[in-house]
Amino acid sequence: MSRTFTVTARDGAARAGILRTAHGAVRTPVFMPVGTKATVKSVDPDELRALGAQLVLGNTYHLHLRPGEELIAELGGLHAFMGWDGPILTDSGGFQVFSLRATLLAADDDGVTFRSVYDGRRERFTPELTARIQALLGSDVAMCLDICPPAGVSRAELGEAVRRTTLWAQRQRDLPRAPGQLRFAITQGGLDEELRRRSSEELVPLDFDGYGIGGLSVGEERGPMFEATTRAASFLPEDKPRYFMGIGDPEGIVEVIARGVDMFDCVLPTRTARTGSALTWEGRLNLRNARFARDPGPLDPGCGCPACGRFSRAYLRHLVNQQEILGLRLLSLHNLRFLIDLVDSARQAIERGELLRWKEDALSRLASTGLETT
């Protein structure tokens, strides 16, 4: 039994639970806003709290290169540095290193060499270094360095990623941590059932505090990805949290919760805001569309965010068209609130034992208009 994580309700494969961290408890399922460079773009930590955000992501790759973990540690760690006293999860940087393929120089059993996206300098990540960076940042959850291949690679390459990810997880298992820091391993294997099973069977006996499901949502078709998620979740222990890395569209969130995933993150709410779009129960609204020019209504009538409480679609459209900073901020606040509310609603449905009905209703509402896809 894990005292770190308690499942409080089940409905089919889905679960509701509580993850206990050094900076407070997190109710799951939980959507985690991404604060890549120690900031959720344009959103103040007090605003994050007011939106109902429970746990924020930081990015090891970017914070290591700018401004550096030593500087952040000198200033009291990542919580103090960014003014957020709630739980923080840091990724390991592996996803950035392996997804920025043009900057990848070489990978071997010891680590991976790449060029910095900031200045082109040669850099190297090893399991030991990324664990040390995360210990200095002082995050509540540290992720193991893994190998995340893109979709469509050969089975041999997927198998090699699984082998090396296990090798690295073994080396990271007992490295020094920040006080109370939890450490999650990440299973790989892409869509391949046998490799995913092997990855899980190698990592689960190491008894990490939780498990990431990696190597999905990397460019493959959605149907097979969700089927692989069902299997990947089923290979993981019931009493440990499961984190699907990199999904954040409303439909995707609903699907992975139903498959037994507890945690997920995505830059989608703030990235979507930067394109002038809002996530709503009518689908995704592109505010550049002329049909909003005289629309006096809120983005989403059921939403309690600062944008919906005071401003019309017409005004938000004006801000977006004039590239005003307030437009970006208000859309970011709204999009984050929308996903946080969506996940709250899913959790309540799990607690009532009505997730399937809730899911069907949610997916049909989200698809009901579908006027815009951008």
Which residues bind to Zn ion, rule: CB under 5 A? 303, 305, 307-308, 334
Closer CB to Zn ion, 247 or 340, in the complex: 340
Single out the catalytic residue among 91, 140, 192, 209: 91
Backbone angles phi, psi at 115, to 5 degrees: -100, 135
- Give, in degrees to the nearest 5, the angle at Cα 55 between 53 and 61: 125
CB of 303 vs Zn ion, minimal distance in Å: 3
Active site residue 265: yes
| Nearest distance, CB of residue 42 and Zn ion, angstroms | 15
Helical ranges in the chain per DSSP H: 45-51, 60-65, 69-74, 78-82, 94-99, 127-137, 155-172, 193-203, 222-234, 250-258, 268-274, 306-310, 313-321, 325-352, 355-366
Contact predicate 242/258, CB 8 Å: no
Closest to Zn ion by CB, 305 vs 328, is 305
Task: Select 141 or 299, whichever has its Cβ closest to Zn ion.
Answer: 299
Q: What letter would DSSP give residue 192?
A: -
Shortest Cβ 286–Zn ion spacing (Å): 16
Closest distance between Zn ion and the C-beta of residue 367, in Å?
Answer: 20
- Least distance between Zn ion and beta carbon 332 (Å): 11
Query: CA 96 to CA 99: how far, in whole Å?
Result: 5
Nearer to Zn ion, 183 or 337 (CB): 337
Whose structure tokens read 């709630």? 86
What's the distance, Cα to Cα, between the start and end of the chain in Å?
44
Q: Which of 11, 209, 262, 265 is catalytic?
A: 265
If 0-12 CB within 10 Å is exposed, 13-18 middle and 19+ buried, where does residue 351 land? middle
**Contact yes or no for 232/217 (Cβ under 8 A):** no
Nearer of residues 162 and 305 to Zn ion, judged by Cβ = 305
Residue 337, both tokens:
């609130």
Active site residues: 91, 265
